[in-house]
């Protein structure tokens, strides 16, 4: 099986590259924007036709949530049009698209874990662009697996963990919102799941059951405040975290107040054991200390 990974320089793309083992009946190809710009419709089609991958995993995305409010066209160019280009190429070559989306597409006001069948109500430009990408993918190809993930962090690239460590080294106190609740997700856990999913796609008989929308995050629930407190604990930084309301820290883009997701569908489909977010945070930090 030949696998193409777009967005190779994203934090998830880099984590996925670390998870891949040589051989195992799979040939992996990782390409960043300089080699494969998913917004280039003709370039994407030519690239996919030339490589003839069995599976395309799209980790490329516009992820600047606040900046997207001023760069709406740029966000939609990547998160909608780029996904449409990949889905069209996948449909033309008979391959399978695994596309990464976000918990931000939910936010319909409910306060119990979201299932994939629940109504979506994306608010900000980033969330709307990601939802538009989902719609394009599902419209253009039958062979699509959409993974809605949440609160990604890891040892590589810019993310909440890296920001908290930096600020925790610079400040004695740090205000963090406590009224936005979700599930932190370690990129390595998500990457391991993607490797397992790709392996399952080898079996053509299983493929139909692996199409459609799936939620994935680490287990457990946290506010950003809870997450920040846990980061200071595992890193040993003396910075005190102060709980504040979102209204006290206004941002250009509105974030969901509750985006916890039900993962029973992906657990059942792949037979997964999903680690708790605190367990994964500790494992992530142990790796960063080495």
Instruction: Give me the active site residues, please.
Output: 126
CA–CA distance, 13 with 152 (Å, rounded to integer): 12
In this structure, the number of other CB atoms found within 10 A of the CB of residue 142 comes to 11
Query: How many residues are there in the chain?
Result: 290
The pair of three-digit structure tokens given for residue 130, joined into one six-digit string: 């990601």
* Cβ neighbourhood burial of 44 (10 Å; 0-12, 13-18, 19+): buried
CA–CA distance, 138 with 84 (Å, rounded to integer): 9
CA–CA distance, 119 with 48 (Å, rounded to integer): 33
CA–CA distance, 223 with 218 (Å, rounded to integer): 14
**DSSP single-letter state for residue 54:** S
Q: Positive or negative, the Cα torsion across 105, 189, 159, 225?
A: positive
CA–CA distance, 220 with 202 (Å, rounded to integer): 31
**DSSP single-letter state for residue 47:** H
CA–CA distance, 111 with 26 (Å, rounded to integer): 41
Residues contacting residue 166 through CB under 8 Å, at least 6 positions apart: none
Collapsed DSSP state (helix, strand, coil) of residue 240: strand
CA–CA distance, 238 with 233 (Å, rounded to integer): 8
13 Cα distance to chain centroid = 10
């Amino acid at each position: 099986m030949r696998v193409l990974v777009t967005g190779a320089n994203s934090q998830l793309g880099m984590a996925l590259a670390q998870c891949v083992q040589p051989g195992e009946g799979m040939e992996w190809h990782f390409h960043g924007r300089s080699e494969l710009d998913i917004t280039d419709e003709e370039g994407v089609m030519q690239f996919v036709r030339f490589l003839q991958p069995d599976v395309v995993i799209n980790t490329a995305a516009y992820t600047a949530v606040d900046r997207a409010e001023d760069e709406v066209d740029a966000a939609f160019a990547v998160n909608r049009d780029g996904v449409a280009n990949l889905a069209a190429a996948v449909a033309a070559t008979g391959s399978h698209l695994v596309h990464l989306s976000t918990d931000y597409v939910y936010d319909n006001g409910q306060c119990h874990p979201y299932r994939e069948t629940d109504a979506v109500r994306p608010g900000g430009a980033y969330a709307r662009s990601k939802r538009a990408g989902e719609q394009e993918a599902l419209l253009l190809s039958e062979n699509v697996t959409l993974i809605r993930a949440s609160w990604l962090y890891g040892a590589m690239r810019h993310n909440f963990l890296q920001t908290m460590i930096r600020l925790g080294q610079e400040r004695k106190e740090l205000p963090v919102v406590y009224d936005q609740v979700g599930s932190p997700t370690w990129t390595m856990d998500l990457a391991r799941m993607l490797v397992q999913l790709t392996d399952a796609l080898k079996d053509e008989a299983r493929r139909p059951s692996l199409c459609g929308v799936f939620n994935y995050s680490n287990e457990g629930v946290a506010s950003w405040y809870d997450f920040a407190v846990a980061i200071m604990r595992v890193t040993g930084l003396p910075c005190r975290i102060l709980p504040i309301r979102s209204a006290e820290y206004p941002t250009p883009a509105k974030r969901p107040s509750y985006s916890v997701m039900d993962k029973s569908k992906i657990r059942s489909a792949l037979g997964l054991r999903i680690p708790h977010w605190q367990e994964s945070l500790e494992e992530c930090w142990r790796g960063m200390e080495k």
